[in-house]
Amino acid sequence: MVVLTVLEKCYGLRERSFLRGFEASLSSLAEGLEVQVRVLGKTDGNWVQVEVSGSDAPVFTKYLDQKFGLAPVFFEKVQAFSRLGGKIIDSGKVGYGLYVDVGISIPKHVDVLIPLHVLRSQLANGKKLSISIIVDAFSLHDNLPLRVQVTRIDSAKKEVEGRLSKGQSSVFREWLSLDFDRVFILGAAFEQVNRIIKKSSVERDVIKVIQLGFLEQQLLCKLGTEGPGIIKRIGPMLPQTPIYCLFPKGIRAIIEN
């Protein structure tokens, strides 16, 4: 038997429903394997903890790592230049960068800092924009999943710095290259979002729902559809759920002028 911290966070108004749904999803993934999987709950950092047992536990553990990612948990396991999955935390609360929670909790909680100058270089063509402008422009808000690459580890101070991974940076470049508004819903399951899209009659304005994480969805709007209009229509059906919009044209105007 092994206890794993999966890189999916449980938060929002429907935590119990989320945990049940996540356990059902894992059970479905485990079909055909000699394995038992049980969701134990969540950590202090809201990461989901699961218990895996059975003769196929090593195989299923590897599959979980590939599909969701597993937290390193221990600071000592983090290595320079390694790529880690995580979710933004405390967005906009400091002016010198962006913190990403990657699940480090022993001997203490440690987040990966992406310094402001790195974000400027990777996202804003080096333009000296404030962290608040970058956060708002790219919808870099709490719980948005990100892939980072570790660039510096200070073992004495228990600090880690990083940058957006090459793949993550490419994703943002792709978003900016296309004139499609994108709406981010942070705190609702894929099935719930699809039901709301149908109920609110915005299906004709949305190309598809892209699952970024178990509770993080992106709506790819049709060309000419404005994200704020979608938010206005679906927002009342998602009370206390953060919803943001990324405008490629607006971002290009900021970083290219």
Global model pTM greater than 0.85: yes
* Predicted local distance difference test score (pLDDT) of residue 13: 78
* Distances 185 to 43, 51, 104 between C-alpha atoms, Å: 23, 29, 25
Query: How many angstroms separate the CA atoms of 98 and 114, rounded?
Result: 5
Query: How many angstroms separate the CA atoms of 11 and 45, rounded?
Result: 10
* Predicted local distance difference test score (pLDDT) of residue 160: 98
Render the chain in DSSP notation, one character per residue. Answer: -EEEEEEEE--SS-HHHHHHHHHHHHHHHTTTSS-EEEEEEE-TT-EEEEEEESTTHHHHHHHHHHHT-B--EEGGG--TT-EEEEEEESTTS-SSEEEEEEEEEESS-EEEEEEHHHHHHHHSTT----HHHHHHHHT--TT-EEEEEEEEEETTTTEEEEEE-HHHHHHHHHHHHS---EEEEES--HHHHHHHHHHTT-GGGEEEEEESSSSEEEEEEPTT--HHHHHHHHGGGSTT--EEEE-HHHHHHHHH-
Q: Are 203 and 131 part of one and the same domain?
A: no
**Among candidate residues 174, 197, 225, the one where a domain is terminated:** 174
The distance in angstroms from the start CA to the end CA of the chain is 56
Q: Could you tell me the residue range of the domain that residue 58 belongs to?
A: 2-67
* Predicted local distance difference test score (pLDDT) of residue 12: 85
Number of alpha carbons in the 13 Å side-chain half-sphere of residue 154: 11
Which contacts (CB < 8 Å, 24+ apart) does range 207-210 have?
Answer: 207/180
Which residue positions in the chain have pLDDT lower than 70? none
Read off the pLDDT of residues 134-170 as tens digits, 9 standing for 90 and up: 999 999 999 999 999 999 999 999 999 999 999 999 9
Q: Are 88 and 19 part of one and the same domain?
A: no
Residue with tokens 């948005």: 144
**Among candidate residues 152, 174, 196, the one where a domain is terminated:** 174
**Among candidate residues 174, 209, 238, the one where a domain is terminated:** 174
Query: How many Cβ atoms are within 10 Å of 134's Cβ, its own excluded?
Result: 23
Domain count, the chain: 3
CATH number, domain with residue 93:
2.40.50.140
Q: Are 78 and 169 part of one and the same domain?
A: yes
* Predicted local distance difference test score (pLDDT) of residue 224: 94
Read off the pLDDT of residues 17-26 as tens digits, 9 standing for 90 and up: 899 999 999 9
Q: Are 38 and 85 part of one and the same domain?
A: no
* Predicted local distance difference test score (pLDDT) of residue 15: 87
Query: How many angstroms separate the CA atoms of 103 and 49, rounded?
Result: 11
